[in-house]
Structure 1
Amino acid sequence: MKLLIADDDPQLVRALRITLGAQGYDVVTAADGEEAVAQAVAQHPDIVMLDLGMPHLDGVEVIHALRGWMTAPIIVVSGRTGSADKVDALDAGADDYVTKPFQMDELLARLRAVSRRAQPAVTPTDPVVRFGAVEVDLAAHVVTRDGSAVHLTPTEWRMLEFLARHPGALVTRQALLKELWGTDQVSDTGYLRLYISQLRKKLERDPSSPAHLLTESGMGYRLILDAA
């Protein structure tokens, strides 16, 4: 089982590589947050273990980036003991939280527990979704059209990201309302139509006759990718 360890403490990483390698894990490492995301994209680990206080991107930012496209279990191993740090990491998508210093037996037990829930990364999801002249990088939170960056508002990004995670599928208005505002009980006063219209203006060749960001009348929206 492939394990990605992301931590900026080289001595700890070396010790974990040796110990966990002896336990049968195929260990790959990263020394900062940006490298962690890059290694995850390149290596498709079955489990990710990361620190919170890393250079370039901190651990919570890495979790957000990874959760945009992968479901592999994430264990945070951090010296931060405050409940707020734990809540932030778990809310971002971490599966477990181990506080430094830790006992190796405990860490191995946590790894075994998440291993039982892990799905082997046999056919990993591509973090880049493409349609027309558009590329949506779900890991980096970057959208380009014809190679040029496209600026999206936070709400536009969340809407596009949700559709991109379910390509070809009908995404109901209720599901989008819950994704954007945390509840499907809010009344839709045209906000969804406004945001989908803005996305079409920024991403479609002909916004008045969209080929990819489609409306399913009375139901919701669908993102259609290019035919293979």
Structure 2
Amino acid sequence: MLSIALNASGIRTTTACDGASALSAARCFRPDLAIVDLRMPDMDGQLLLNRLLESHPTLLTILLHQKSADRSRPVVDAEPGGWLVKPFSIEDAMSRVRKLMRDNGMDHESLCAVVSVGDLVLDEEHLRVWRGNDQIGLTPTEFALLRFFVRNPGRALGIREILGRVWHYDYTGHSSQVRLYVSYLRRRIDDGRDPMIHTLRRTGYILKPSRGFANPNDDPAMRGARPTATPSTARATR
């Protein structure tokens, strides 16, 4: 699921189901980033990490670690990407990948931290949101949901897709959570304004610029908010 989502965003990926396959893929694919699970069927994650770094010293890494009862972590050097504790949401994992690549000088439009749709601006780096000149406070779940909408503007998003991307992958709650949090978002960004979040009957939701928004460059909240990017290819392996 993570690989599919990253590929769709413009970050080319390859996957490997065990350590031996990962080493082979790294030789052929030469990735910029490796997402390594510490638990694999044929090799300890620490050993795989050491071997990957021997042949690719500048390789960026994110380690996957299963959350335990005492919340302890194995003593493994996870720099510079750190840890991603399972279960995680696909959107949170993608946010971590984008930040790590940005912090290490990679430049691609899909990695931009500041994203806008009409007069709605979302700053993923600093967890801030504006609608026009108004800054809007959101809870972590509201922010994650809005981030998914903003990074997929004009696309019909089904309730199951939203649930699978924004909530962690083994979440067993009901899809009514999506409807509930969409209602929260509407109160934050749409109340008293031209609405941007629209319900698609029997489908889900879609985020579109407000009808009154003409040119993003004319809005003061947008000036200097969107960094430019030179298209390039960022590669990752999991």
Whether these two folds match at TM > 0.5 is: no
Decide which structure has greater helix share.
1
Taking CA–CA contacts closer than 8 Å with sequence separation of 6 or more, which of the two structures ends up with the larger relative contact order? Answer: 2
Q: How does the TM-score come out when normalised to structure 1?
A: 0.44
Q: How does the TM-score come out when normalised to structure 2?
A: 0.43
